[in-house]
Amino acid sequence: MTRLRGRSPVGPVRAAESSPGPPAQVPAPTPGPAEPPRAAADLRAAAAGPLAQRVSPKYLEEHCVLPLAVARSGELVVAAGAPLDPTVIDELCWTFERRVRLVEAPAAEIHAAILSAQSQAAPEVQASDLRGSDLVVLADEAETIDDLRALANQAPVIKLVNVLILEALRARASDIHLEAGADGLRVRYRIDGVLREISHPPRQYQAAVISRVKIMAGLNIAERRLAQDGRIRLRLSDRELDVRVSITPSLHGESVVLRILDRGAGVRDLAELGMPNRLLEDFQQLIRQPHGIILVTGPTGSGKTTTLYGALDRLNQPGVKIVTVEDPVEYQVAGTTQIPVNPKIGLTFAAALRSILRHDPDLIMVGEMRDRETAEIAIQAALTGHLVFSTLHTNDAPSGVTRMVDMGIEPYLVAATVLGILGQRLVRVVCYSCAEDFQPPPDVVTHAAAGQPDIPKPRFRRGKGCDACSGTGYRGRTGLYELMRMSEEQRALVVKRAPLAEVRALAQAQGMAPLRAAGWAKACAGITTLEEVLRVTRDEVLG
Ligand SMILES: Nc1ncnc2c1ncn2[C@@H]1O[C@H](COP(=O)(O)OP(=O)(O)OP(=O)(O)O)[C@@H](O)[C@H]1O
Ligand SMILES: [Mg+2]
Ligand SMILES: [Zn+2]
């Protein structure tokens, strides 16, 4: 404890001993001779105290200063982490109407103190039932020791990173983006598939925060020029979370994406995904076929894996052997064998698949058909009497078959094995708490309605924005689906390498309602908005 603590801070501000005037009249501050070094705890107390509150944290950070107390002499004692510009001293004299006495303190300690005061001040964090200390890092820490590590291991930095993760969980975010920019780190959360700006920790913390994430993920903190991937396993009370960490060097420093996988979260039932009844029935019938390939297509994060787990869950009975090969295993399902691929040790999708075929499973779920080799083994499995579920990154269902052919699979093999393809997207749902009826502009309606089935009395709704939806007007998501079943005619088209447009046209002629139509129906029912539907289907080819 330093001698300055315990004194009453300013109290009612006493009249300045030297009346503050223009900078020239301000007496030069006396540098603090033989001041005892400030303990970190004292700096933190000062940062949260009334003196510091009178100046913006941004200002304090920018100049690395922290007003500590008013000395008996009436001087304002200010901790400084670096030699100060005279104008800064003048500004402090003006603001506090006092002479300034500088004392030295480690710059990192000052920044940490300011940062910790800020994170303590965030009311949502205090109010939430999640506490930083509840978060236990399971991963072993790396061995490297240097300045960065020291910085990264400071309590405020640890707390800041924990709070970022906990707040992300509270906000139902799926990803945390820490992006390095010219003016420091930008923190964004992906909530319901859409990025939202959260905060801008000052530039000084950038390296410490990134290093902290690296330490948590067991990555090399000294490596700052190459991309690195890692994972953090966290336990929050009895919930186990798996956070995938991807670090990429960029112009202004490293950027990080943390993807949160909530392994404890249960599998969603197929009936809760938002499939219309007809389509749900058709899909359920499809997955009950004894062998063949069922594909789910859509862009990143469109809910493909969720659908496959829902399907797998329906088939998960004691008499059925189910094996999954994934990167990573996203949900744990009792009664199944789940294999995480690990290319680093040579356990690729293809290698894992080849090995599990010897276990003769009834159903195999392959996380993604990324390459020709994996697709070939999947086809082999289907031809030898197994049911295979997998995903492809294509815009719609009909593109699934053409993609397989483009990957180098013989069209007759695609035609012989693929049973059906489900194309999908996720749209945000209008917030239930603040929904209101709403008539979209006629041109928007006309544009969205073009080519869609006529829906007699559409009831469009939108969210005004409230606390429940953080002002966005949306809360939660639901799926849009299109199901293409492989009819005999469709197989014939595939075998003769018909162009995509023909495959699509036939699918629609045979009853496939395309994604846009699914979206139109949901917007007309007030579940989502036309804007959302257009947003997620804009790259879909119409017709
Ligand atoms: N029908 C749905 N309704 C609401 N939320 C959903 C639905 N389907 C999936 N989600 C949610 O959307 C997120 C992304 O889903 P999922 O991981 O299944 O997508 P994906 O297409 O497999 O992504 P990737 O391309 O990264 O593999 C998850 O948080 C999931 O819980
Ligand atoms: Mg997936
Ligand atoms: Zn709302």
Strand partners, 195: 190
* Contact between 305 and 390 (Cβ < 8 Å): no
pLDDT category at 146 given cuts 50, 70, 90 is: low
Q: Which residues surround ligand 3, an ion (CB under 5 A)?
A: 431, 433-434, 463, 466, 468-469
Whole-number pLDDT of residue 540: 60
Q: Cβ distance 417 to 507 under 8 Å?
A: no
- CB burial of 396-425 (b: ≥16 within 10 Å; e: otherwise) equals bbbbbbbbbbebebebebbbbbbbbbbbbb
Distance 480 CA to ligand 2 centre (A): 16
pLDDT on residue 78:
93
Ligand 3 centroid to residue 432 C-alpha, Å = 6
Whether the per-residue pLDDT at 13 is higher than 60: the answer is no
Tabulate helix, strand, coil % of the chain (nearest 5): 40, 25, 35
pLDDT at 145 over 50: no
Is a pLDDT exceeding 90 seen at residue 339? yes
State the alpha helices, DSSP H only, in 330-389. Answer: 349-357, 372-383
Instruction: State residue 331's pLDDT score.
Output: 85
Q: pLDDT value at position 129?
A: 35
AA identity, residue 186: R
Residues 8-17: what's their mean pLDDT?
Answer: 33
The helix or strand, by DSSP H or E, that contains position 424, with its residue range, turns out to be strand 418-430
- Contacts by 142-150, CB closer than 8 A, 24 or more apart: 142/214, 142/215, 142/218, 142/219, 142/220, 142/221, 144/220, 144/221, 144/222, 146/221, 146/222, 148/207, 148/208, 148/211, 148/221, 148/222, 149/211, 149/215, 149/221
In the predicted model, what is the mean pLDDT of residues 2-19?
33
Q: What is the DSSP letter of 451?
A: T
Q: For residue range 364-389, what is the model confidence (pLDDT) as tens digits?
A: 999 999 999 999 999 999 999 999 99
Q: Mutation test of ligand 1: which of 241, 304, 306, 426 has the most ligand atoms closer than 8 Å to its C-beta?
A: 306
> Does 426 or 3 have the greater pLDDT score?
426
pLDDT of residue 182: 85
3-state class (DSSP) for residue 275: coil
Residue nearest to atom 19 of ligand 1 (CA): 303
Q: Which ligand is nearest to the CA of 298?
A: 1
Give 436-478 pLDDT, tens digit per residue. Answer: 999 999 998 998 888 888 888 999 999 999 988 889 999 999 9
pLDDT of residue 7 exceeding 50, the answer is no
102-112 per-position pLDDT tens digit:
998 888 888 88
- The pLDDT tens digits for 158-192 are 888 988 988 888 888 999 999 998 888 999 999 99
Instruction: Return the structure tokens found at 337.
Output: 């064998």
With a cut of 90, say whether residue 206 has pLDDT above it: no
- Give the pLDDT confidence score for residue 119 in this predicted structure: 59
What is the band of 204 on the pLDDT scale with cuts at 50, 70, 90?
Answer: confident
Q: What pLDDT is recorded for position 425? A: 97
| pLDDT band at 397; cut points 50, 70, 90 | very high
Query: CA-CA distance, 316 to 310, in Å (whole number)?
Result: 10
Per-residue pLDDT, 152: 78
pLDDT at 52 over 80: yes
Neighbours of ion ligand 2 (CB under 5 A): 305
Residue 248 reports pLDDT greater than 90: yes
Q: What is the mean pLDDT of residues 326-353?
A: 90
pLDDT at 139 over 80: no
Three-class secondary structure of residue 318 per DSSP:
coil
pTM here? 0.72
What is the DSSP secondary-structure string of 467-484? GGGTTSSEEEEEEEEEEE
> How much is the pLDDT for 44?
84
Given pLDDT bands bounded at 50, 70 and 90, which one contains residue 120? low
CB burial class (10 A; 0-12, 13-18, 19+) of residue 290? exposed
What is the whole-number distance in angstroms between the Cα of residue 298 and the centre of ligand 1? 10
**Nearest residue to 452 via CA among 502, 522, 349, 381:** 522
Ligand 1: residue of 305, 313, 341, 475 to mutate (most ligand atoms within 8 A of CB) is 305
Average pLDDT over residues 29-53: 67
